[in-house]
Amino acid sequence: MQRTILSVTHLRCNVVLVVLMAVLLGGASSARAAGYISPFAGINFGGDSGCLELTSCTDRTSTLGVAIGTSNAIFGFEEEFGYAKNFFGKDALQSTSVVTLMSNLMIGPRLGFIRPYGLIGAGIMKTRVELTLTDLGAGDTSFGWDIGGGLEFSGAHVGVRGDVRYLHGLQDFTLPGLPVTDLKLDFGRASAGLVLRF
């Protein structure tokens, strides 16, 4: 009986020690991780965008967005929202837009104030097309993925970064009655932004 009580007490002590160690390690890990917010502006090119090439394009479309994430010395995770107006090109007869929401895993070592990084992720891509003369419009939401890389220059709290990403839809999308049908959306994006750490 006494041996049973001792083994139960020993088990409880071990459980308490494991919980305390998990809490301490979790606190230390989160202390090393730093949150950030990164508003950015970019240009779309290639694929289905209105601009087939990055350098020589007269009908360039842009993306505005923000990324919110956290990172430690090597790994990171971010949620990125982007909005591209006139994605399929500027046209007086139609208004188009693409919204992307991607969850990305990042990897890149911090080398002083410089950090090269690569990323890969998945999320949703929402396309909207409206014909201005007829007030006819349609939208489509599909799943997609992205991959890319870039370079960040930052101090303890403020920095800048630039990257290039390729985004690709996993599903065909169709906009009934409009010229966009049965298309897997894909395009590249080059962007630059601030990095505000907290």
The tokens describing 156, both together, are: 């303890």
Give pLDDT tens digits along the chain (198 positions): 544 444 444 545 444 444 444 443 444 344 467 899 999 999 998 888 867 676 677 667 899 999 999 999 899 999 999 999 988 777 767 788 999 999 999 999 999 999 999 999 999 999 888 877 666 667 788 899 999 999 999 988 999 999 999 999 988 876 655 556 667 889 999 999 999 999
The answer to whether the CB of 97 falls within 8 A of the CB of 65 is no
Question: Could you tell me if 176 and 80 lie in one domain?
Answer: yes
The pTM (predicted TM-score) of the whole model is 0.77
Q: Number of folded domains in the chain? A: 2
Question: Could you tell me if 25 and 38 lie in one domain?
Answer: no
Domain of 122?
34-197
Question: Could you tell me if 8 and 94 lie in one domain?
Answer: no
Residues 195, 87, 148, 67: what is their CA dihedral angle, to the nearest 10 degrees?
30
